[in-house]
Structure 1
Amino acid sequence: MKSVSIFNKKDSFSYRNIVKTVEDFKPLRGLPFQLGLEEGIVSGTNTWSTDFCLAMLIFLLITILFYVEKEEGLTSLIRSTRHGKLRTFGAKLTALTLITIFLSLIYYGSILLLAERLYGFGSLSRYIQSMSSFYHAVQPLTVEQYLLVYMLLKILVNILLGWLMAALFLGLGHISKIYVATSLLLGASYLCYSLIHPNSYLNVLKYINILAFYDAFHFISDYRNLNILGYPVRKDTLTLWV
């Protein structure tokens, strides 16, 4: 591709992207491939309905933790006690984080268990690149490693969503403002993720938003470099930094 005139300008994003793509895929050379069914792995790790239900549960949990006491007029009483404001907030944030981790393990763990029972995962030691759905994956992960990374990503994004919503509850105060802000945040994320083309110059907005963070399946299976000031940055790297 570097020999084609439209790509061979060394100061262009296209040229840098070609060079970086070759370097990124070098670790996959010589991987041992092994035949195996992929239906269980794909269906068990590509579940939007589960994401939606869990996000609603997190929102309900935050409402109980951060809004009920304000609605009942207990906020002034808590703030008047020694260390009441800071320690109460720390306790709530800790409870939110731990319950979110528990819910994530229960929800996604049960889906993976059902997928394994229905379809099977095959050999957990084979590399995911052995399956057609992961031909473009750049991380040399075994099936077992992929499932562990998938669970970790889901837990992290649910914690992130919980902290963002907690910040809205603390910063805005009024429940109607919180509903509007949450709807705008999730609505803008959905529009960017569903309408922006993967190769658009606006694809940073497509992949760096809360809805894209939930798509752990394509986070791993879809290799893509984003254009950051003319330089290619791997989508997964930028996502983790954000």
Structure 2
Amino acid sequence: MTDDAEIPEDHPRHDSLVTRHRIEDGVEMGITSQQGLIAQGRGEAFDYLLGERTIPSADDAERAAAAALLAAEHPVLSVNGNVAALVPGELVTLAEATGADLEVNLFNRTAERMQAIADHLREHGAEEVKGLAADAQIPGLSHERAKVDRDGIYEADTVLVPLEDGDRAEALGEMDKTEIVIDLNPLSRSAQVATIPVVDNAVRAVPGITEHARELADADEATLREIVDEFDADAALAAAEDAIRDGDLD
């Protein structure tokens, strides 16, 4: 496994290399699929075009995401292989800050990978990890990602789905859930159908949502609902697309 300390902090591509190696290590640990390497590369390209920073519209989305999770009756954070490799401890911290459940959900699902990710999250502080029961299915999907826990994603009113695939994002929307999607591509189906699209790198977005959740911890439900209602998903997506098309890469 790669030690992050081996990469010089003054390397111009330090953060990108660290995340890349975490995905590679995830493959070695049986957490991330080989297809996850391709997904990481695609996201890295969009992040480069965004200037590898959290743009203002993404920060607004992260605040709205925090408000939605805090206002939810049953929030769930969906965890796939890539996000488990990149931000396992940060996901546990976000779950604690918002009272959300953690649930493993995979496209390339095997019992071994499911258990490995659940164990990995527990090693980073999670007390309970859902997803292994798989006693319910998301309507309209035929692949393995349709399998969810009934007392988890299936019955959740709000779901955070980092690094999502479009068909499941659409299916969750059809279930009338508040869906928060972290996706670096503002033109993806996932981002386009999300209630709250967060166009940011998961390594920045998850801690960003947590920070906002802590700031809003004492807010009443009316305030939280107002933050969510005032968030404009179309404007956020347009701002992200503009940043990619017209951004200064110097």
Q: Choose 1 or 2 for highest CA Rg.
A: 1
Greater share of helix: 1
Normalised by the length of structure 2, the TM-score is: 0.24
Greater share of strand: 2
Normalised by the length of structure 1, the TM-score is: 0.25
